Amino acid sequence: MEASSSRTLSNRALSALEPSHTTDADRVERLDLTRNHFDVLPKEIAAFRFLRHLDVSRNAIRVFDDAIVQLGVLRTLDARENRLDSLPNDFERLVALEELNLSGNRFDAFPRQLFAMPNVRDLQLGGNEIEIVPKEIGEMIGLRHLYLGGNRLTALPPSLSQLLNLETLHVNKNRIEALPPELKLLSKLETLSLHDNRLESLPAGFLSFVKLRNISLRDNPLCSRFVRDHAFEVPSLLELAGRAVKHYNMGYGPRDIPRTLVTYLDSAKCCDNPKCRGVYFSSHVRHVKFVDFCGKYSLPLMHFLCSECLNESSGSSGSEDEEEEAKKLKKVLLG
């Protein structure tokens, strides 16, 4: 029988489903079980074979009964504000699922079952205790909206750049110190929420997003007052000699010099200044290019230059190209 009705059983202090609740279950397309006392999603849920939308938010659910995976046409599952810390092993059998809200639960790890669910478009995992987003997140190619705010993340995997359909990314209220430069490949991204993190800078090329219109950066160190020239230690004689070896392409090996010096020379880093052929080891200029927004705030784009580029970097602000790219952002939420 074609499902065509909604059933509301919210706020009734229910801890189990009674037979009367499942009457004509085949006709129910939308089921509301919010604000009850369920601690386990009951097995009787399987009676709702044509259920497309299930809301079990604001209960005390610790675990889903395996019966949930029998809801083969379920499209939307709202289970926010419960006590879940895991999903059934075969949760990926919900092949029609497009929207999943697990915010405000007790997950300390990203549910790996989701990586086998490429049809999920809207995933909300905010307000949990997740510390790591596995690289397999890149397999969820259907994602358009991803909410990971209010967790314990310290970094984001470069594989996020594989989510080419992503339009919204919320990673606010975490502990993120740096962003992978690969994020700029998210050509459809429109909203990026980064506030309440530990970001001191944004990677070069960050403003190359094509459709980005909203970005939130408040309460990050990068919104504090910056100075354009940063102090650096004067290069040691060892560093000056090492720079000369690399600049003139002088050959070296363990037969010529001690292995410790070979290791040191191999650790040379190229200067970010495209006009400079130099390298540096430990002495460098932490150079910030600024792009102004709203006449009040600036986005610092971090570059590391060898100390020989100090004079060239002093007093520099954002290039005209960067300022032009900045105009693409219609709304910057920094206040």
Do the Cβ atoms of 30 and 53 come closer than 8 Å? yes
What digits encode the pLDDT tens for the residues 264-294? 999 998 876 777 778 888 877 655 554 444 4
Q: Each residue of 71-92: pLDDT tens digit?
A: 999 999 999 999 999 999 999 9
Mean pLDDT of all residues in 121-137:
97
Tokens standing for residue 131 = 């510390």
Residue 129's pLDDT is what? Answer: 97
pLDDT (0 to 100) of residue 4? 62
- What sign results for the dihedral spanned by CA atoms 182, 187, 188, 189? positive
pTM reported for the whole predicted model: 0.71
SS3 246: helix
Please choose, from the candidates 89, 73, 94, the residue with its C-alpha nearest in 3D space to the C-alpha of residue 30. 73
Domains of the chain: 5-223 (3.80.10.10), 224-335 (no CATH)
- Tell me the average pLDDT of the chain: 84
- Residue scoring higher pLDDT (294 or 146): 146
Alpha helices (H) in the chain, listed in sequence order: 237-247, 259-266, 310-313, 320-326
